Chain A
Amino acid sequence: MQNAFTDERMRREPPYAFYFFLLIVIIFVLSLWVIWNETVTLRPWKSYQARYYELKQRLLEDEYEKALEDFQSPETQQKYNELKALVKEAEEDFQNSEVQEKYIEIKTRLDEVREMLRGNQTEFQAARGKALEREYLFTKHQREEDRVKMAEYEEEVEKIEERRRELLREEEALKVELSEYTVEAERLAAEIRGLEMKLTETRERLKRIDGIPIEIKQVYMEDINKADRCQSCHIGIDSPEEISNEQPFTRHPGHFIYLENHPPNVFGCTFCHRGQGRATSSPDKAHGWVEYWPEPMLRGNAVQATCQTCHGEVQHLRGGNLLAKGSKLVEKYGCYGCHKIAGYEDLRKVGPELTKVATKVNYTWMVDWLQDPKGYVESARMPKYFFSQEHAEEITDYLFSMTREDRIDYPVGEINWDLADRGKILWRQSRCSICHPANGVGGAFKEIGAPDLGKIGSKVNREWLYKWIKDPKSYFPTTKMPRFRFTDDDIWDLVEYIMSEYVNFDFEPEYAEPVAIEVESIKRGKKLVQNYGCFGCHNVKGMEEMKEIGPFLRRGEVTYLRIGEVDEKIGAELSSVGNKPLELFEFGKMAETIPHDRISFIKQKLRDPRSFRDDLRMPNYRFSEDEIDALATLLVGFSDTAVPTRFKVPKEPSDYKPTGEFAKIESEVKCLNCHSIRGKGNDFAPDISIEGSKVQEQWLHEFLKQPDIIRPMLRQMPQFGLDYLEGMIKNNLTYSEIETIIQYFKNVLVTHEIPERLPEGRLSPEDQIKAGRSLYEEKGCRACHQIGVDGGAVGPNLTNVGKRLTEGYIYKYLDDPQSLVPDVIEPNYEFTGEERVNLTRYLMTLKEG
């Protein structure tokens, strides 16, 4: 019912219709946005795939154009038309009535023969049936008539079979005749197809692209519930050819190394690259570059870090050079001394023995060294602890107090030049400088970590040096230095020479020796040694098995527990630093300066370990940026990701140990410092695992007495005994030792793969030698090998190879060098057996003297 009041009210109320309309519009727009977001923005892989196929199509179209152009070029067209004309001709010939008649005749005959064959088959079956029936009856009842009938039927079967064979032969002949009519036409047709092939192929591929659906591409590993969807955007990663240079359409770099061995459809991508495999809504999410994803994706060189998740052996992996370098650095610097690292448990401490260091060095040197090792020699491996002078003195006091033995201090003083001159010759002939650099010069064998001797005379005293050269293990039981067989006089000569030449002429002792040491100072020094964990790299008496409670548990005074009570080392455990949660890394003062991720932390730690906080203890190793890269790559791969056992490639254990008498010699001369045997040792010198089969006994005898030059400079074997100028052999690798070595080689270090003797060969021996010589010249072997003075010095000198190597070894080596010596530069020439025999015979004639 209308009344003035309600009308009034209605007129005064604002029109809500407008607002409703506005809201509707907003909701509508929002819905559109939602739909757009869901289907396009959050599904970038759709546009990537579309673009990829577009690019591929364009590429194929270009190929098609090119193929068309080639096809339409005048030469091809001419050939094409020629062929077509020939085909036409052939067809016309065929249509000729005579030919047709003949053809039809043969065909008819063929049909007849086939019909006869079918009839023959039926006959055969019937006859065979009868024969078998009789056989059965005869076997059952043993009646004579059955046997007779059986023989009859079997004869019949024979005849039918004979007939069958005849018919088959005729059929064959007819078929051949028939095909002669068509063979030419078929050949021509094949040629025509060949010309058109590229065109048809490309056209097929173009057609196929249209049909490829745009969808998520996933690799699902059921047993570990891992789903990788990386290939939805990176479609071209495993394609046989490069479609484009832009990301994400590129092909995987080093496809033939990485993907051939680890196909993505089996392994997925995230085992190696890390990242968030299931994400598809944006590149950053998929790469794991978001706040709470614990394993962000690795790029570039850093991907090598994850190889060690499956591969136990990292030092010889193809495509894993940076990782191998990092691993070698850990072994060189001995990180495992202070940090617990799974897989590096049983390695020796890298620093020398400190128990009797008081007998070795002088006080000044020690104090200076502790404050700055690289100040003494640039290549020092010991890191810098930034001790103050006072602390350095306290530590030295403690270390010096550990032994009661006196240091007999000869100041360098007067040099006896007679001895020194003889010592110089000894130095040269023993080739000390192969391992030991002097002031940065020499020391070709870097991995061995031998100290630089440039200023050794100012560091040690004569008495100690004498004892050391005489028997290194009495001072430092796990040293790598071999025991040379010098006489006492020889050693004093050598010592005198070293003291005369390898001295720091500017050295001035700061402390008047012997230095008075207070007991308090010793106590403080001991605390410092325990606090900074010198026992991680050095053997310190009383602290051999010492481990310290980890930093987290430390309260004020340091407490020490023996092994078995707690299993912590002084440094943080590194076994899983690669996937330790980012929150547990203490960025401290560097939080603003470096990017907030694992790799940056590790690198900064290596660059400047104490930069994060004030009371950190790790010393500074002064690594170069390259070394930091290598170590960071290794460390970021230390993780405890679960990997299915079927993927694992465990390290092949090398449990080779020298045995018997040879073991005694080896432990003194330390052959495995340079050589490797069955996986143990180093690769500075050749592998001698099959030396018994490889070299001749007489030559080996001569060589061990006096190692000669075989390979290029800088890699000579030292002489462990010595043939003096006067021709007196004193205390060499004695004859019995040489015999032991040779017997060991002949009996143990052999292989059956190397033949005792060469195969015969077709030519006479003289002709073989001639053929071998011309082969040597023809293939240009002198580019790398020397005979006499002619040739290059890349490979071993061949002047005396006829006396050195066995013919069986040369023969086998020429077949496939890389199978005997992996990574050798010698190319595989694909010689025939004959050529190898000839070349070997020639090489065996090369003998010196």
Chain B
Amino acid sequence: MSCTDRPESRSTVFSGEESFSVREARRLFNHYCSPCHGENGDGFGKYFAYDLEPRPPDFTVPDFLQNRGVEELTTLVTKGSAALGKSNLCPPWEKTILQEEILYLVTHIKILNEGISSQDSSGVE
């Protein structure tokens, strides 16, 4: 409201201050998903995931999200890829990751797909 000098606010904009949900989503994705899906979501996990048959899909392809809505992705992560008739290689995560965290992960997949830099300093969830 008022325009007084806000010293602290200037200095807490760190090198790329991101909202909590974006940071946490990235941390979760890198811990649980990146071994197979790769840190960019391109399907080249660092532990030789490209030997797998079928390979994890490439999230960065522009029309990856064309036919896949948020609900479908959430169900896929929660119940495993086998529950949606796909390969059985992505396990059901519902007992290992909290539901809110799964929502964060799905948002992160969208971010990876759009390739936007995760800069969001308005404190928005």
Which A positions have Cβ atoms within 8 angstroms of B? 44, 242, 245, 247, 250-251, 253-256, 282-284, 287, 289-290, 296-302, 319, 321, 594-597, 599-600, 603, 625-626, 629, 712, 778-780, 782-784, 792-794, 817-818, 823, 825-830
A217: shortest Cβ distance to chain B, in Å? 18
A604: shortest Cβ distance to chain B, in Å? 10
B61 within 8 A of A: no
- Asked whether, in the complex, the Cβ of B47 is within 8 Å of the Cβ of A254, the reply is no
Residues of chain A within 8 A (CB-CB) of B92 are 827, 829-830
Beta-carbon contacts under 8 Å, B20-56 to A:
20-21, 23-24, 27, 31-32, 35-36, 45, 47-49, 51-52
- Asked whether, in the complex, the Cβ of B123 is within 8 Å of the Cβ of A289, the reply is no
- Asked whether, in the complex, the Cβ of A792 is within 8 Å of the Cβ of B88, the reply is no
- Asked whether, in the complex, the Cβ of A284 is within 8 Å of the Cβ of B11, the reply is no
A209: shortest Cβ distance to chain B, in Å? 23
* Distance of A250 Cα from B89 Cα, bound (Å): 38
Closest to B98 in A: A256
- Asked whether, in the complex, the Cβ of B8 is within 8 Å of the Cβ of A296, the reply is yes
Interface centre among B2, B11, B27, B95 (most CB of A within 10 A): B11
A598: shortest Cβ distance to chain B, in Å? 8
Say whether chain A's binding surface is mostly helix, strand, loop, or mixed: loop
- Asked whether, in the complex, the Cβ of B31 is within 8 Å of the Cβ of A629, the reply is no
Which B positions have Cβ atoms within 8 angstroms of A? 1-2, 4-15, 17, 19-21, 23-24, 27, 31-32, 35-36, 45, 47-49, 51-52, 82, 87-93, 95-96, 98, 100-101, 122-125
Q: Name 14 interchain pairs, CB-CB below 8 A, sorted by A.
A: A247-B123, A250-B123, A284-B6, A289-B5, A289-B7, A296-B8, A299-B123, A600-B10, A782-B52, A792-B48, A794-B36, A794-B47, A823-B31, A829-B91
- Asked whether, in the complex, the Cβ of A253 is within 8 Å of the Cβ of B88, the reply is no
A357: shortest Cβ distance to chain B, in Å? 38
Closest to B81 in A: A780
Closest to B12 in A: A299
* Distance of A646 Cα from B14 Cα, bound (Å): 34
Given the known inter-chain contacts A254-B21, A299-B9, A596-B7, please indicate yes or no for A44 contacting B1, CB distance below 8 A: yes
B69: shortest Cβ distance to chain A, in Å? 18
- Asked whether, in the complex, the Cβ of A794 is within 8 Å of the Cβ of B27, the reply is no
* Distance of A555 Cα from B77 Cα, bound (Å): 67
- Asked whether, in the complex, the Cβ of B90 is within 8 Å of the Cβ of A780, the reply is yes
- Asked whether, in the complex, the Cβ of A830 is within 8 Å of the Cβ of B95, the reply is yes
Residues of chain B within 8 A (CB-CB) of A247 are 122-123
- Asked whether, in the complex, the Cβ of B51 is within 8 Å of the Cβ of A792, the reply is yes
Among B7, B17, B21, B82, the residue within 8 A (CB) of A253 is B21
* Distance of A307 Cα from B2 Cα, bound (Å): 30
B48: shortest Cβ distance to chain A, in Å? 5
B84: shortest Cβ distance to chain A, in Å? 13
- Asked whether, in the complex, the Cβ of A829 is within 8 Å of the Cβ of B36, the reply is no
A713: shortest Cβ distance to chain B, in Å? 9
Sorted from nearest, which 10 A-B pairs have the closest CB atoms?
A253-B20, A780-B88, A828-B95, A783-B89, A597-B7, A827-B91, A780-B89, A794-B35, A793-B47, A600-B11
- Asked whether, in the complex, the Cβ of A629 is within 8 Å of the Cβ of B6, the reply is no
Residues of chain A within 8 A (CB-CB) of B12 are 298-302, 599
* Distance of A817 Cα from B91 Cα, bound (Å): 14
Among A254, A256, A300, the residue within 8 A (CB) of B14 is A300
* Distance of A625 Cα from B17 Cα, bound (Å): 13
- Asked whether, in the complex, the Cβ of B8 is within 8 Å of the Cβ of A599, the reply is yes
- Asked whether, in the complex, the Cβ of A629 is within 8 Å of the Cβ of B15, the reply is yes
Closest to A233 in B: B1
Residues of chain A within 8 A (CB-CB) of B101 are 256
Among B6, B36, B52, B87, the residue within 8 A (CB) of A289 is B6
Among B2, B6, B35, the residue within 8 A (CB) of A825 is B35
Closest to A790 in B: B51
Residues of chain B within 8 A (CB-CB) of A817 are 96
Among B14, B19, B87, the residue within 8 A (CB) of A780 is B87
Given the known inter-chain contacts A599-B11, A779-B91, A829-B95, please indicate yes or no for A794 contacting B45, CB distance below 8 A: yes
Residues of chain B within 8 A (CB-CB) of A256 are 98, 100-101
Residues of chain A within 8 A (CB-CB) of B5 are 289
Residues of chain A within 8 A (CB-CB) of B125 are 242, 250-251, 253
- Asked whether, in the complex, the Cβ of B7 is within 8 Å of the Cβ of A792, the reply is no
Interface centre among A626, A793, A826 (most CB of B within 10 A): A793
Additional 4 contacts, C-beta under 8 A, given A603-B11, A778-B82: A289-B9, A297-B8, A599-B12, A825-B32
- Asked whether, in the complex, the Cβ of A828 is within 8 Å of the Cβ of B96, the reply is yes
* Distance of A779 Cα from B7 Cα, bound (Å): 55
